[in-house]
Structure 1
Amino acid sequence: MSSRTPPPTTKSAPRPVGGGGAWFGLSTLSATLLAFCFPFASAWWLAWFALAPLYYALLSVRGNPLAGAGCGAAFGFTLHIVGCKWMDALGVVPWVGVSVFESGAFAVFGAVAAFALFRLPGVVRPLFFAALWTTLEYVRTLGVMAFPWFPLAATQVPVLPMVQIVAVTGQWGLSFAVAVVNALVVEAVVARRMKDAPMFKLAATAAVSVPVLLAVVGSISQSLVAAQDTMDESNLPGNTRTIALIQGNVGKIADNAEQTDYRETALQTYLQMTRVAVAEPRDRRMEEVDFVLLPEAVLPGFLLRDPNVFLAVTALARETNTD
């Protein structure tokens, strides 16, 4: 007879759901749902439920960090495979490679979550899960290998009242709110199955209250701002600046360039688009462009570390007399 002491359990801990196949299925389903919350589909409302299958899978592994890591890795890989489908224009290797690499952070998340969630009381688990998820989003923004895609807060952009909280908490507050609602939904389901009426009422009420509160407060805030007529030209300062936004077609650039000269083709494409954007208002005697904004990570190299990129961009700024 084994003398090992089993890990502590809580009254509302769910029964195991199948084995590794079921956990894998729940994790991949969760990732697919979350991917559809972003453009191309922009199904923003799914974000409030998309993480629920992952949360349930992490509870179902019953404190096993290795199984939790597997759930997290499956989730992260699927999320990037589905959500970064556009990368196949650059080749299958970069697309799959990014998905594999980024799944590592989610594996760590899954291991920590699985270990801790099973040992925490039901009332604490949603808060811990949301805090851990928000930490994951923040960590993925750090360092030269940062890849901060798929923040939960970004899913709510189509609904302006929902994003008003960002003015106070930053994106982290909204991501935390969305994550905690996902966890509360699962806790309500688990409590219902376990016939834990007090926990069910608490979790269900909180799961409904959080998005409703965000929507109501956000709508009031948005109305107050609109009432101030902030876009009235008479209220604008006299010293305004004209901004040009540049967005190329990555797929078309990749089609027109061999892999060996893709960097140069991408750079020259954006340099030429900038020249056109600056010259067009001047040709039409419109207000001149003062500032040019390029998309994130569009330049084929680190601006401050790659001499070729740095010299090309600084020369362009002098040529066009823009920032």
Structure 2
Amino acid sequence: MTVPERTLAVVAHAKDDLRVEEIAVPTPGPDEVVVRIAYGGVCGSDLHYWQHGAAGESILRAPMILGHEVVGTVAQAASDGSGPGVGAAVAVHPATPGGEGARYPVDRPNLSPGVTYLGSAARFPHTEGAFAEYAVLPSRMLRELPAGLDLREAAIVEPASVAWHAVTRAGGIAGKRVLVIGAGPIGALIVAVAKRFGAAEIVAVDLHEKPLEIARAVGATSTIVATDADAIAAVEADVVFESSGSHRGLASAVRGAMRGGRVVMVGLLPSGEQPALISLAITRELELVGSFRFNNEIDEVIAALADGSLSVEPVVTHEFAAADALDAFATARDASVSGKVLLRF
């Protein structure tokens, strides 16, 4: 497979300045692979870089290629012999753990202080993403896909791994009542993974009907409109997943948990102090647990998608050619009409 010298890429230049432009294909190092990207999923962080020029405290200081939810085919293998060979279909684990200066459990590299992620402005120079027809990636990031798992279905692997990690942070949920606050793509994937893990009852909450429709399609046994505070409080769930990323969602999560229950906080709230129902969490002896990205759960997700035990197809609602990235981002921004939006390269 011939690798061109230049490639089409989706680049964030600044707030409200997203461009589809030609860039040079970088020269790969010995342990790097050139991947012909097939699909990329638009993530909330991608939207933030477009809308705000920043994702939380990660501020754009230079143009950056977006994208970390990508799958594709190896166009040029690593010269040192590592990683899959030419023609292999692959998913991508976008994290590079590392850094020193802060303590963390060694078996949880997602918490390493210097961890970087594809398409992130957390450090400078920024870590370029992979929304490009051809992306140069470290061979260690690649996970070869099993036969029978097509690239479009595998495009959901990265966010599904975030959901899988969140469910494992909840402890055992088999036979339990689960409440999911926020039924966007991550929330819907949490519903699907919770069903895969044997939850007896799964209640999904959102402001809009479209995400609730998707949640029902992937396993929610019932749904509640987010403004119905009494109905949410009446759920009394064993485990609550907060995936809205808002302090109001976190308040709903605390209210919707049973006494002695666990709240897994997945949605990333804005930086700085946030209002929270801490007194209620204390008097109900709730366990508030953070969940951030994922580690090797990606391998379990790929296996579950391949054997059919994890069903996520309804989560993907739209597909756009990469050249129409602006339209794709505008659609992904409107949670009332879309779930996961894919770019086709």
* TM value normalised by structure 1: 0.29
Which protein is bigger by CA-based radius of gyration? 1
- Higher strand fraction: Structure 1 or Structure 2? 2
TM norm structure 2: 0.27
Between Structure 1 and Structure 2, which shows a larger proportion of helix residues?
1
